[in-house]
A and B are shown apart, each in its own frame.
Chain A
Amino acid sequence: MAEEFILIPGRTSKQGTTLNEGKYTDDYLEEISTLQICEEDMQRLGLKEGDHVRMWNAIGEVTVPCKASKGDELPPGILFISYGMWSSVLMGADTQGSGMPDSKGLDVFLEPA
C-alpha cells in the first residue's frame, strides 16, 4: 500500500566530492539515486538497505534503492535524496512566476517495489 511522504532533495558532501570525480562515475550515480528514509519508516514498510522503492507524484515516477538515514537526521514522513537526475524527474515545470520550480518539499507516494 502506497504511503504519502514529503521528499527533500538536497546536497550532501558525498554528492559534492563524487560530482568532481565525474557525473558518470559509479559513486556519483549511486549517491544521487539512493533514497534516504528514517529507520522508523523503514521498519514499518518492511524495508532493508538496498531494497528498491517506487516513488511517484503527478509529475513523474522513479524506482530507486533506499537506505536508512543516519541517526535522527530525518523525522518520520520525510525522505531525502541528493539532487540529480532522479530528483529532477519528480520536479514540476511550474515556477509560479518565480523562475524556480518547487524543488524541495515535494509531495510523493512511496511503496516497496
Chain B
Amino acid sequence: MSIAEAPVTETGELKIVKDATCTFCGCVCDDMELTVEANKITKAKNACVLGKAWFFNHHIEDRPEATIEGRPVTFDEAVDRAAEILMSATFPITYGLSDTTSEAQRAAIAITDWIGGTIDTTTSVCHGPSGMAFQGVGEVTCSLGEIKNRADFVLFWGCNPAEGHPRHFTRYSLMPKGQFLPNGRKDRTAVLIDVRKTKTAKAMDYFLQLKPRSDFELAWALRGIVAGAPVDPNIEEVTGIPLDMLEDLVGRMKQAKFGVILFGMGLTMTRGKHINTEAVLALARDLNKFTRFAAKPMRGHGNVTGADNIVSWTTGYPFGVNLNRGYPRFNPGEFTTSDTLARGEADAALIVASDPMSNFSNPAREHLSKIPTVVLDPKLSETAKIATVAFTTATYGINTAGTVYRMDDVPIPLRPAFESPYRSDQDVLTAIEARIREKQLAAG
C-alpha cells in the first residue's frame, strides 16, 4: 500500500491511525494502531510498554514556541538570532539528531556545511565505536527480515533487548515463525553473553556470564577456536567462562544454517570500545568460512541509524565530521562532541533532539553551558534550559511525517497521529538555513 492511501479513519473526535510507526527505539515497529481522541493518543495497539509510554506522553506541551535567553520571542526573531550565533562562531558544532526525521537531519547537515562547522550525532556516544570497527574490518550484515526468516542461531552480546528493545524478540529475532523456521522459537538456539544476568537471559537457551571488561579477550578466544588454533585454558580466569563451554559454543555456531550476533553497548561503552566490536565483527566474518553468519549492532534511538545513513551519504562518513575546510574530514576523538566540548574548542552549538547537559562528562557540560547554543526539543530538558535560543518542536512520528531508518538500515515512513501547534525540526532547521544563506549572500 502506498503512503498516499494512508488508512486514517475519522469518526467525529475519534480517529484511528493504522500502520503508524513507533520511533522510541531502533526496532521502529510500523504496525501500530493508534486511537486518537482530540489531541491525545488514548490507545496504542501492538505497542510495547516503552512504545505505550512514548505515545501516551507526547501531548501538546504548554511552552512558548521560541525563547531567547528564556524570554518568549517570535519565531522570526529566534531564527534570526540562531543564524547569527551559528554564523559568527569559528568552531560551531551540530549535535544530536537521533530522535528526528531524516529530512531534518539533512537540513542540519546543510546548515553545518554552509557555516563550515562540525557535524556529529549521538552515534558517537552509542555505536560510534562500531562505526569505526566497520571501517576497520567490514560488516557482514543482514536485515531483520532475514533474521526473522532464516536465523536459527542468535547470539546476543552485551545488550538487553528484553528491556531496551522489547519487541525485538517477538517481531524479529526469537519468536516469529519464518520462511525457513516454521516452528519459530523452537527452531532457534538463543544465547546471551553479558556481565549481568538481565531479563534477556530468561528468554535464552544459554547464558554465558563474562567478567566485566573481558569482551575482547572472549571474542579473540572464540576466533581462535573457530580457526582451530590452540587456546590457553587460562581464558577462564580472564573471562570467567571455561574453555570447554566456549568450544561447545563455537561448535553450535558452526552447525547453524544462518547465525547472527546482535551486539549492544556492553561492547562499545566499555574499555576497548571499537576494538571490542572489531573482534566481534571479525568473529562473524570468520564464521562465514563454515556457514552464513552476520553481526548487527542493536541501535537505541528511533532514528540514530538514519543519522548515520544521512551523515554518510552527505559527507562520506558516519559521525564526527568536520566541514571547516570545505571538504569533509572524519576523526573520532577530534571531531566528536564529547571531545570538542570537553577540550573547550566548540564556540557555539546547534543541538537537535538530544540532551548532552544530562549525559555528558562534567568538563563537556561545563563548557556547553558557557557557549551560545541553539536547541530544538519537543520537551524541556537540561540542555533546553541553558539554550540561548530554544525552539519547542513537534514530535516526530506523532505530529510530523518523514522518514526514519530502522536499526537494520531499512527506511520506514512515518504516519502522524495529530497536528501539533509547533513546527517540525525540519521546518525550523530549514528556516535557519534559509536565513543563514540570505545573510551570507547579502554579505557577498
- Which of A93, A99, A105 lies in contact with B212, CB distance below 8 A? A105
Contact B213 A100, beta carbon cutoff 8 Å: no
| Across the A-B interface, the 4 shortest Cβ-Cβ residue pairs | A99-B336, A97-B333, A93-B342, A17-B53
Please give the distance in Å from A38's CB to the nearest CB on chain B.
10
- Which of B212, B274, B362, B381 lies in contact with A89, CB distance below 8 A? B362
Interfacial residues of chain A within 61-101, with CB under 8 A of chain B in the complex:
71-75, 78, 80, 83-85, 88-89, 91-93, 95-101
- Which of B129, B162, B197 lies in contact with A98, CB distance below 8 A? B129
Contact A96/B333 with A20-B54, A59-B362, A89-B362 known, Cβ cut-off 8 Å: yes
Please give the distance in Å from A74's CB to the nearest CB on chain B.
6
Contact B163 A13, beta carbon cutoff 8 Å: yes
Per DSSP, are chain A's interface residues mostly helix, strand or loop, or mixed?
loop
- Which of B166, B195, B358 lies in contact with A78, CB distance below 8 A? B195
Q: Does A42 contact B (CB under 8 A)?
A: no
Q: Does A49 contact B (CB under 8 A)?
A: no
Contact A74 B125, beta carbon cutoff 8 Å: no
Contact A100 B129, beta carbon cutoff 8 Å: yes
Interfacial residues of chain A within 1-55, with CB under 8 A of chain B in the complex:
6, 8, 10-13, 16-24
- Some 29 contacts from A to B, beta carbons below 8 A apart, are A8-B196, A10-B160, A11-B164, A13-B164, A13-B166, A13-B199, A16-B53, A19-B53, A20-B58, A22-B57, A23-B381, A24-B380, A78-B212, A80-B196, A83-B359, A88-B361, A93-B342, A95-B338, A96-B273, A97-B333, A98-B129, A100-B125, A100-B128, A101-B338, A102-B271, A104-B265, A104-B269, A105-B212, A105-B270
CB contacts (< 8 Å) of A71 on chain B: these are 197
Cα A80 to Cα B334 with chains together (Å): 30
Number of interface residues of B (CB under 8 A): 61
Interfacial residues of chain B within 360-406, with CB under 8 A of chain A in the complex:
360-365, 379-382
- Which of A13, A20, A78, A99 lies in contact with B333, CB distance below 8 A? A99
Contact B379 A91, beta carbon cutoff 8 Å: no
Cβ-closest chain A residue relative to B198: A73
Q: Does A57 contact B (CB under 8 A)?
A: no
CB contacts (< 8 Å) of B37 on chain A: these are none
Q: Does B332 contact A (CB under 8 A)?
A: yes
- Which of A59, A74, A96, A101 lies in contact with B196, CB distance below 8 A? A74
Contact A16/B164 with A89-B362, A104-B265, A104-B266 known, Cβ cut-off 8 Å: yes
Q: Does B49 contact A (CB under 8 A)?
A: yes
Contact A16 B380, beta carbon cutoff 8 Å: no
Contact A98/B50 with A20-B24, A23-B379 known, Cβ cut-off 8 Å: no
Contact B358 A84, beta carbon cutoff 8 Å: yes
CB contacts (< 8 Å) of A23 on chain B: these are 355, 358, 379-382
- Which of A17, A89, A103 lies in contact with B50, CB distance below 8 A? A17
Contact A102/B54 with A24-B380, A78-B196 known, Cβ cut-off 8 Å: no
Cα A83 to Cα B270 with chains together (Å): 14
Contact B361 A16, beta carbon cutoff 8 Å: no
Contact A8/B338 with A23-B358, A75-B209, A97-B333 known, Cβ cut-off 8 Å: no
Cβ-closest chain B residue relative to A7: B212
Q: Does B309 contact A (CB under 8 A)?
A: no
Please give the distance in Å from A88's CB to the nearest CB on chain B.
5
Contact B197 A11, beta carbon cutoff 8 Å: no
Known pairs A59-B362, A88-B365, A95-B333 / 20 extra A-B pairs, C-beta < 8 Å = A6-B212, A8-B212, A11-B164, A11-B300, A16-B164, A23-B379, A72-B197, A74-B196, A78-B196, A80-B196, A96-B273, A97-B332, A97-B334, A98-B274, A99-B333, A100-B338, A101-B125, A103-B125, A104-B266, A104-B269
Q: Does B352 contact A (CB under 8 A)?
A: no
Please give the distance in Å from A76's CB to the nearest CB on chain B.
12
Contact A17 B358, beta carbon cutoff 8 Å: no
Please give the distance in Å from B382's CB to the nearest CB on chain A.
8
Q: Does B132 contact A (CB under 8 A)?
A: yes
Please encode chain B, from 44 to 77, with 1 for each CB lying within 8 Å of some chain A CB and 0 for all others: 0000011011101110000000000000000000
- Which of B128, B160, B269, B379 lies in contact with A102, CB distance below 8 A? B269
Q: Does B124 contact A (CB under 8 A)?
A: yes
Contact B53 A85, beta carbon cutoff 8 Å: no
Cβ-closest chain A residue relative to B132: A98
Contact B359 A21, beta carbon cutoff 8 Å: no
Please give the distance in Å from B433's CB to the nearest CB on chain A.
26
- Which of A6, A13, A73, A101 lies in contact with B361, CB distance below 8 A? A101
- Which of A6, A93, A102 lies in contact with B363, CB distance below 8 A? A93
Please give the distance in Å from A100's CB to the nearest CB on chain B.
6
